A and B are shown apart, each in its own frame.
Chain A
Amino acid sequence: DSGVTQTPKHLITATGQRVTLRCSPRSGDLSVYWYQQSLDQGLQFLIQYYNGEERAKGNILERFSAQQFPDLHSELNLSSLELGDSALYFCASSVGASGAYEQYFGPGTRLTVT
């Protein structure tokens, strides 16, 4: 158990809908990262927050947005969902702001868009 929690574990929804994925980092960690992992694909970095502020942006679509709250939990919002958004979404946390710290991954949220 990494100490990072993600809810829900599974999510099934229809195209065009909007969903929110939630992540709670390890105690003491200030950074939260979001990744998308499609079948047979690597880890696509989406976005990073550090202590409530957006820190780095990766290949995140405009239909996706995220935020980190004062209690450091983070939410990833996916809207106007398409079939291709079906994937495993991981969040990870680390103690520091940069990429030079170990990242602890949550168990992931499996999103299925039908």
Chain B
Amino acid sequence: GENVEQHPSTLSVQEGDSAVIKCTYSDSASNYFPWYKQELGKRPQLIIDIRSNVGEKKDQRIAVTLNKTAKHFSLHITETQPEDSAVYFCAASRGRDDKIIFGKGTRLHILP
């Protein structure tokens, strides 16, 4: 069945450095890839998404890249700040007519 693998499960980076979280998916028909951020004690919220017709998307310090051939996509956070500390979930969907599959999450710690 469909599967989304996410690595690493935990990531610690120094404040100001960059963080990269990687996901791979199994279903080659997947075409929508969102990223959700869940701060401690709060609900998950969409931070960025990408569709299969583009290879990269940026929003200020956050970027997502997609490699359809290799079936993987990554979240890049530059100039990390304390408020970036959270759990990040990647997900994949085939879009129309299909459900969404979440990765198991990455706990990101920003060290002072």
Contacts and interface: CB of A to CB of B under 8 A. Distances in A.
Interface stretch (A42-50, A69-77, A79-87): A42-50
A69 B11 CA distance: 42
A94 B103 CA distance: 19
A18 interface: no
Interface in B32-82: 32, 34, 36, 43-46, 49, 51
Contacts of A97: 97
Contacts of B100: 45, 99-100, 103
A25 interface: no
Interface string A28-39: 000000000000
Q: Is the interface of A mostly helix, strand, loop or mixed?
A: loop
Given A99-B99, A99-B100, A102-B34, A108 B43 contact: yes
B95 A100 contact: yes
Contact of B45 (A42, A45, A98, A105): A105
Contacts of A48: 99
Given A45-B100, A105-B44, A99 B89 contact: no
Contact of A99 (B36, B45, B98, B105): B98
A56 interface: yes
B22 interface: no
27 contacts: A2-B43, A41-B104, A42-B103, A42-B104, A45-B100, A45-B101, A45-B102, A48-B99, A58-B99, A90-B44, A98-B93, A98-B98, A98-B99, A99-B94, A99-B100, A99-B101, A100-B32, A100-B51, A100-B93, A100-B94, A100-B95, A100-B96, A100-B98, A100-B100, A103-B36, A103-B46, A106-B43
Given A98-B99, A103-B100, 9 more contacts: A2-B43, A43-B44, A45-B100, A55-B99, A98-B93, A98-B95, A99-B95, A99-B101, A100-B51
Q: Which 5 A-B pairs have the closest CB atoms?
A: A99-B100, A99-B93, A56-B99, A100-B95, A42-B104
